[in-house]
């Protein structure tokens, strides 16, 4: 009789330890996803802070390119108003396209391309784009690990009991996945 009671108590303790282990793992994963998202947010804000400086520099040389400047302004506003991962991804794609247009305009002005201020801003923006790319990759890797915990047995049981929800991946739009056409 004593052995049976000891076995039951041990089983209960093992189950409780596993519940705590998987619960803490899910909390850890969810917090890592939030942290990874905040890293993307920091880099996107850094880029948004650089853009007005670049636009003002280009405006000095190409003030008649109002459509490009309007696109950038609209894209920055969309980025500021985006709340979900999907909205941020869409706004980011729009802003990336607008920046490509801005740099295409800049290519037409040799004196602008030689402007030290513009070159420094362009380099800083390029560095920021690299950091955004890395932060997106890290975020998606973190989301993958967390989502796997939410779906795989036995942690999925704990995830369902405590209402852990899967996170969204940061996905590029189909238009940004296309291979650019290069002509010489």
Q: What is the pLDDT of residues 145-183, one digit of tens each?
A: 999 999 999 999 999 999 999 999 988 665 554 444 433
**What does the pLDDT look like over 76-132, one tens digit per residue?**
888 888 888 888 888 888 888 888 888 887 787 777 777 788 888 888 888 998 999
**Residue 182, pLDDT score:** 37
What gap in Å lies between CA 57 and CA 21, rounded to an integer?
A: 55
pLDDT bracket for residue 29 (50, 70, 90): very high
**Residue 143, pLDDT score:** 96
């Amino acid at each position: 009789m004593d052995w049976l009671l000891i076995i039951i108590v041990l089983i209960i303790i093992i189950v409780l330890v596993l519940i705590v282990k998987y619960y803490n793992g899910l909390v850890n994963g969810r917090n890592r996803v939030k942290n990874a998202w905040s890293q993307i947010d920091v880099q996107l804000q850094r880029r948004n802070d650089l853009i007005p400086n670049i636009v003002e520099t280009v405006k000095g040389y190409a003030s008649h390119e109002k459509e490009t400047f309007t696109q950038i302004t609209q894209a920055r506003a969309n980025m500021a108003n985006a709340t979900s991962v999907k909205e941020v991804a869409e706004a980011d794609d729009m802003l990336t396209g607008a920046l490509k247009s801005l740099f295409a305009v800049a290519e037409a002005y040799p004196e602008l391309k030689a402007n030290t201020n513009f070159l420094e801003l362009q380099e800083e923006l390029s560095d920021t784009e690299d950091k955004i790319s890395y932060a997106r990759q890290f975020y998606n890797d973190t989301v993958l690990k967390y989502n796997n915990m939410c779906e795989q047995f036995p942690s999925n049981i704990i995830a369902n009991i405590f209402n852990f929800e899967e996170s969204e991946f940061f996905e590029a739009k189909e238009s940004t996945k296309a291979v650019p056409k290069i002509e010489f």
